[in-house]
Structures are given as structure tokens and as C-alpha cells.
Amino acid sequence: MTRALAMVSGGLDSILAAKLIKDQGIEVIGVCFRSYFFNEENARRMTKQIDIPLEVVDFSNEHFQMVKNPKHGWGKNMNPCIDCHAMMMRYSGELLKKFDADFIITGEVLNQRPMSQNKQALGKVKAESGFADKILRPLCAQNLEETEMEKSGLVDRSKLLKISGRSRKPQMALAEEWGIKDYPSPAGGCRLTEPNFSLRLKETLQRQGDATPKEIELLRYGRHFVSEAGKTIIVTRTKEEGDAIKSLLSKEDTVMYPVSHNGAMVIISGDASEEDIKLGAKIAGRYSKGKDEEAVEVSYGKFGCKFDGTLSIKPATDEEIEKYIVQMK
């Protein structure tokens, strides 16, 4: 029986492509990828809707190394889409033998994204993958040259589609026809496409040269500041953010709260100097009910341990906030 591996991002296009091939009587196995910037959560939901199995590949470290210096550069933010898609295709190609599969399906649509899905970019992705003759793009196949899978009769080209451009109407019509109701928005999924996350990641890499998985995850939350010594200071904005951050902290991290006035939790990631703690306390005061007072009492200590320090300190001024904050777009 003919078997295909479908690269499933968790979005609508990739699952429609998989469904289109499955409906030709071809066995389809979903393949999705886990990194520091996206996971398999949406892909699991989507594959259940068309009843195909899912293989999850964790390529976090190699993917991050590529993100730092992509051969074909970044998109609008820090998303290296051409290099990322090529890497995914290479991994998928290496799985063909494991699953005794004949070819790879992707959900790419010609000209849907002007930089990464024009004809030239699609060609680059295929060439960089190392498995160019095994890649089929069912949603826009009739806009592209005939593949070996179509020529040999593994796939019926007449049943493939000719979608092109940025409009989502053809895909949404197909989803309705096939009863696929639960799908995310096109923008969801990859944190590297998010302007503020990308800004923080770029700043961290410029300052440190690298980032740990924990540091990458912390970029998602709160307001971020950087001390003179280059330490990251985070101010939570909501209780939910605070709870999420706590799940990432260890006894190496310093936590502080204003105790004389209601206010936010402040975290200094890693070892903190006396100057870092003073700045963190000033910021804690600034984001408390006592921001206009001459002094706010702030308690601090290592996460998970009994607090052993207290500072009475004047809250940070607007000028100090401006100096140390990592600006958002």
C-alpha cells in the first residue's frame, strides 16, 4: 500500500493536505516537530479530526542553533521560515525509511506568504531538504511542476488542488465540507513570529550570545528589564503569569515582593548581586501601590526558601524604568 508522511504544523493547511491524500486511498502518518518555540499540542488536535497517527520529533537544540544564524535569514520577526521548513523536510525525509513511506506531504500554498512561499522560496526549501524528489504540496500542486509521485501514478494529479495567494476562503470551504471545525488561526503556533517575543530573544542573544531553554521560556512572561550587570529582571503582570513563571524557577533565582503595599512579584533570573537586588527592589516598588511614596519595603530571597532580606527603597522613576526596560513594539 502507498504510504505518505504528512508534515503537520497544527494549522489548517497541513491537515487539509493530509486529508486530500488520505482520500486517495493512501495511508497517511502525521509528523510534527517540537522545539523551544512551538509544540505538538495543535497537531494532536488536528490529526484526531482526520483519524491519522502522529509521530512527534523533538529537534529543539538543532533548531535553536539554526534560528540564531539562519542561512536564508529571518522573516518579519525572528522566524527563519525557509530554513525551518527545509530542516523539517530533512527530518521527515529521514523518517521515510523508518515508516516504509513513499513520499512527504506539506501544506504549503503558493504565494500565501510573500517571502517564504513564493515559487523561488518553495524551490529553495525542496533543494535544501535533501529530499526534493519526495516532496508533494497537494493544496497547490497544479500550480507547480508535476512530481515523480504524480508521474508514476502513486498520486492522482487531477484530484490535487490549485490554491494560490493569501485568501483563506478555499481552505475554510474545504474544512467545512470535511467537518474540520477545530483549527487555530493562521498566526498561531510559532513564537518566533510574535514581535515582542522575537524582540526579547534578539536582545538576549545580543547580550549573552546564547540562551538556555529556561531563559527562552521566561521570555514569554511579564515585563523584562536588564540590570547594569546584564541580569534579567522580570515583573509579573497577572496571577496567571506568576504561576507560570514559578513553574520555571529554581533556588538559584531571587524573588521579591513589596510588603508595605500591594504589588507584583519580581524575579531576578540566576545569581543576583547587591546592585541587581537594589534595582529589582526599586522596580518592585514602581509596580506597587506605593509607587509615589518616598520608600517602599520590599522583601526578597531565593525561590522556594524562607525570605531573608528586606529593603526600604524609593521606587524607580520613569527615567529609570525607561533606562532598564526591554522595550516592546
**Rounded distance, CA 156 to CA 26, Å?**
11
Question: Which strands sit side by side in the sheet containing 223-226, from one edge to the other?
Answer: 223-226, 232-235, 266-268, 254-258, 296-302, 309-313
Candidates 52, 76, 80; CA nearest to 66 is 80
Q: Among residues of the chain, what percentage have pLDDT more than 70? A: 97
What is the structure's pLDDT at 54? Answer: 98
Per-residue pLDDT band for 210 (boundaries 50, 70, 90) equals: very high
Cell 531576578 belongs to: 268
- pTM for the structure as a whole: 0.88
Type and span of the H or E element at 249: none
**Residue 245: pLDDT above 70?**
yes
Q: What is the 3-state secondary structure (H, E, C) of 258-327?
A: ECCCCECCEEECCCCCHHHHHHHHHHHHHCECCCCCCCEEEEEEECCCCCCEEEEECCCCHHHHHHHECC
What is the structure's pLDDT at 198? Answer: 95
Q: Is 100 exposed, middle or buried (0-12, 13-18, 19+ CB in 10 A)?
A: exposed
**Residue 119: pLDDT above 80?**
no
**Of 53-57, 178-182, 183-187, 217-221, where does mean pLDDT reach its minimum?**
183-187
- Region 223-227: mean pLDDT is 96
Per-residue pLDDT band for 329 (boundaries 50, 70, 90) equals: low
Ordered domains of the chain (ranges, CATH): 3-189 (3.40.50.620), 194-324 (no CATH)
**Rounded distance, CA 287 to CA 311, Å?**
15
**Rounded distance, CA 312 to CA 126, Å?**
61
Cell of 94: 529521514
pLDDT digits (tens, 9 = 90+) for 256-304: 999 989 999 999 998 899 999 999 999 999 999 999 999 999 999 999 9
What is the structure's pLDDT at 187? Answer: 57
The DSSP code for 146 is: P
Cell of 249: 524557577
Cell 508595605 belongs to: 260
Q: Is 262 exposed, middle or buried (0-12, 13-18, 19+ CB in 10 A)?
A: exposed
What is the structure's pLDDT at 188? Answer: 59
Cα–Cα distances (Å) from 300 to 105, 227, 262, in that order, read 53, 17, 15
**Rounded distance, CA 160 to CA 174, Å?**
13
- Region 89-110: mean pLDDT is 95
**Residue 31: pLDDT above 70?**
yes
Q: Tell me, rounded to whole angstroms, the distance of Cα 11 from its chain centroid.
A: 13
SS3 assignment, position 181:
coil
Cα–Cα distances (Å) from 91 to 57, 84, 130, 179, in that order, read 8, 11, 10, 30
